[in-house]
Chain A
Amino acid sequence: MPVKVAEEWLNACSGCEISILNIGDALLGLLPELNFVHIPVLIDHKYFGQTGDGKTLEIPEADVGIVSGGVRNEENKHILEEMRAKTKILIALGSCAANGGIPAQANMFTKDDVFEKVFRSSPSTDPAPDPDHPNVPKWLDSCMALDEVVKIDVTIPGCPPHPDWIVDAITALLEGKTSWSLPERSVCDTCPVIREEKSGGGAVKRCFENLEFDPEAGLDKMRCINEQNFLCLGPVTLAGCAGKTGVPRCVQARTPCRGCFGPIRKGARPMVDMMGAMTSVGLDPKTVVDRRAIMNRYIGAHGNLRPLPARPVRR
């Protein structure tokens, strides 16, 4: 008996949905097990009935609900509440759903700042009042993670989440389990680079030049990125970006981790912990340029990022 699944995307980019489609050959085996009753990217089910005659927004009942994206506007919130009401197990898929993701960087600014920029101070735009219409959903005060609005049963983090974990979590639910989570390990725990517990010391370098490495040799021959004096958020980021096998994806590209899987455990303080990790290899955390934004790049919800006061307070 196939399991009924409903899927929605909120304040998102559709990368999570593409990651579902990137499951690969296993997708064809998995699809018949899943009866998608609602998934806007693939199936034409409509909120108000197929000819739009319904009076209220309705999503069909399902065993499993999957939601990607954070909550940015009134409609996102309404759809999320409808998903919660109609599904037995609700999955938050991806970094935006789990922690706000990149769009929660907007939490550093007020709504007025953003709308002023977009609709009145862009050089190509003929200045106009903010869009205001019943069919254009109003922004909420901040970009929220899903668990700030409703109860979430399962979280699959990542930007995007690796297809391995999507299959793993869904398979667990198909087997009748009601919870699923990634093991609490850091990206560094899965990273094969050479670590000597010390860096060149002093200031953190920006990515104006590439890492030092031998392209013919594996990552196990490359020195740790923090120890090369560049900022890498591996120490405070949940492992899993490479799926069940493989090495951390950004490190595979010979670039530093920016924390897309979010904190290693609920309640962790990645920014504080990262400052500690840097200090322990002799780096000066105060030299990180744009520190607040970079260390909260994917986790700006849950109040982690807020607008700064109009006048910065002098120390």
Chain B
Amino acid sequence: MGKVINIQPITRIEGHAKVAIHLDDDGNVADTQMHMQALRGFEKFVEGRPAEEMPRIVCHICGICPWAHHLASSKAGDACFGVTPPPAAVKLRRLMQMVAYVGDKLLNFYFLAAPDFVIGPDADYSVRNVVGIIDAAPDIAKQVVHLRHLAAQILENFAGRAIHPTFSMPGGVSKPMTESERSEIQGHAKELLDFAQFTIKFAKENVFAKYMDAIQNLGVIKVGHIGTVTDDGALDFYDGKLRLMKPDGTYDDFASDEYLDYIGEHVEPWSYQKFPYAKAWGQGFALDLSNPAGIYRSNCLARINVCDKMATPLAQAELEEFRANFGRPAHFTLLYHYARLIELVQCAEHMMQLLEDPEITNPDIRTKIEPRAGRGVGCVEAPRGTLIHDYETDDQGLITKANLIVGTTHNNAAMNLSVKQTAMELIKDGNYDQGILNKVEMAIRAYDP
């Protein structure tokens, strides 16, 4: 056995991981592993907690997508207590989700992903970062900082907190939106929509066109996809049926509370993160690059592959252009960056639609709940993929069991395959440099873990 190349920490992602690339005696790649090193144990330590407190506990799973956990947990709580939140509460939950996601997608594209493309994948690490972006494109950087802050301010001014919210809970939300709050947010939201449109145009012209070669080669794998769609097949972030698509594009639809029939989780001794797989396909699980079994992807590329259409007109036009170029399902891994920006447009448009909805200011925003024993599966599309919160409660409404499958976890197997594909493609006869190792990381960053 030859040497092991360790890339640690994986950077410009939102967690703790390292990659080990094992070379054989000739210096070619024998095997690779992406080790997920963090485990906090939420599934255990929420046992005994009151279900109505859960949305403000589990949001701490992720400081980048706290709103996704906050809402999935609220929905699981709705089901445990057997209540339906009033329509205005659902619209306010959706609105906050969209504002948070616009901020998240801007963060990912400009701060985390763009350095590889705008500064260049082989550039020295001391300039291949957000500070380099600020130097290279100061006007755009200024706008990104300003608009991300604006999105955070919308959340904070209305819902109290942008990070780790307390606004939503089983039965609805904590406060209604007044007319004056609505009109103030509307003005800001328009700025975000304009910038979303600018961003996708900028990226198509200056990034994706320039990197077509990398897109076609880096991290490419052919596996399945998962996402959430409405009854008429449109991409939805808050509610709908789950769609699990095979690599060939055929799919099964199912209700979120049936997830245990479709998804299993495999454990490997070398990672704290589990490996969800499509149990329903009956192939078991195999992390085999030439013949993967049970492996599917989540997050934006998966979502725009499984949906029949986007839910809003500008985003739909973008999807049509994307599909004309890359087909359905699209498999190139770096297209995650493109898909993310198509979703950015939908999130911004949907935000505007919700603000124009007369019902958004209806003061009826909370259904009173009574403790009872129950089970609830709350599912939303988090920025990083299908998020499943499955709770059981006792007759006092305290959590007895919780099972969580979070967005990025679905991508664990796929990221491992993309790492292996990239390493095998680029490292030959023992030759590698920091640029090549950064490209291995680019295959991971596409998934925005």
A interface, CB within 8 angstroms of B: 9, 11-19, 21-25, 27-28, 31, 36, 40-48, 50-52, 72-73, 75, 101-103, 105-106, 108-109, 113-114, 117-119, 122-129, 131-133, 135-137, 139, 159-160, 206-211, 213, 215-216, 249-255, 258, 260, 289-290, 293-294, 297
Contacts and interface: CB of A to CB of B under 8 A. Distances in A.
B274 A136 contact: no
B64 A14 contact: yes
A252 B160 contact: yes
13 contacts: A11-B38, A13-B61, A18-B64, A22-B163, A24-B149, A42-B11, A109-B41, A114-B41, A122-B43, A126-B264, A136-B272, A250-B166, A253-B167
Contacts of A101: 60
Nearest to A289: B50
Contacts of B8: 46-48, 52
Interface in B51-68: 52-53, 56-57, 60-64, 66
Given A126-B267, A132-B269, A72 B40 contact: yes
Interface stretch (B315-323, B342-350, B351-359, B431-439): B431-439
Interface string B9-49: 11111111010100000000000010101111101111111
Given A51-B432, A119-B267, A124-B405, A43 B64 contact: no
B283 interface: no
A28 B134 contact: yes
B207 interface: no
B269 A255 contact: no
A176 B441 CA distance: 38
Nearest to B177: A215
B105 interface: no
Contacts, number: 279
B264 A124 contact: yes
B45 A135 contact: no
Given A253-B160, A255-B167, 16 more contacts: A14-B62, A15-B164, A22-B152, A25-B145, A28-B145, A41-B13, A72-B38, A73-B37, A117-B44, A133-B269, A135-B37, A206-B371, A206-B397, A251-B160, A252-B160, A255-B169
Contact of B7 (A46, A109, A289): A46
A51 B437 contact: yes
B386 interface: no
A231 to B, nearest CB: 10
A52 B14 CA distance: 21
B201 interface: no
Given A210-B175, A215-B363, A249 B161 contact: yes
B265 interface: yes
A253 B50 contact: no
Given A135-B270, A293-B49, A126 B6 contact: no
Given A14-B63, A106-B40, A159-B60, A31 B160 contact: no
A246 B98 CA distance: 24
Interface stretch (B123-131, B326-334, B416-424): B123-131
B178 A216 contact: yes
Q: Is the interface of A mostly helix, strand, loop or mixed?
A: loop
Interface in B124-182: 125-126, 128-131, 134, 141-142, 145-146, 148-149, 152-153, 156, 159-167, 169, 171-172, 174-176, 178
Nearest to A255: B166
The 5 closest A-B pairs by CB, nearest first: A15-B63, A253-B160, A128-B267, A24-B149, A114-B41
Interface string B172-200: 10111010000000000000000000000
B111 interface: yes
B270 A253 contact: no
B45 A208 contact: no
Nearest to A110: B44
A11 B397 CA distance: 29
Interface of B: 5-16, 18, 20, 33, 35, 37-41, 43-50, 52-53, 56-57, 60-64, 66, 107, 111-112, 125-126, 128-131, 134, 141-142, 145-146, 148-149, 152-153, 156, 159-167, 169, 171-172, 174-176, 178, 259-260, 263-272, 274, 276, 363, 365-366, 368-371, 390, 396-398, 403, 405, 432-434, 437-438, 441
A255 B162 CA distance: 14
Contacts of A102: 57, 60
Given A24-B145, A43-B129, A44-B125, A13 B60 contact: yes
Contacts of B112: 41-42
A40 B11 contact: yes
A101 B66 CA distance: 15
A253 B142 contact: no
Contacts of B162: 22
Contact of B178 (A103, A127, A208, A215): A215
A251 B161 CA distance: 10
Contact of B44 (A113, A129, A207): A113
A131 B152 contact: no
A201 B77 CA distance: 28
A119 B111 CA distance: 34
B63 A160 contact: yes
B20 A208 contact: no
Contacts of A128: 266-267, 269
A250 B56 CA distance: 10
Nearest to A101: B60
Given A44-B128, A45-B125, A253 B174 contact: yes
Contact of B131 (A31, A50, A118): A31
Contacts of A251: 160
A13 B176 contact: no
B52 to A, nearest CB: 5
A126 B268 CA distance: 10
A28 B141 contact: yes
Contact of A42 (B37, B129, B390): B129
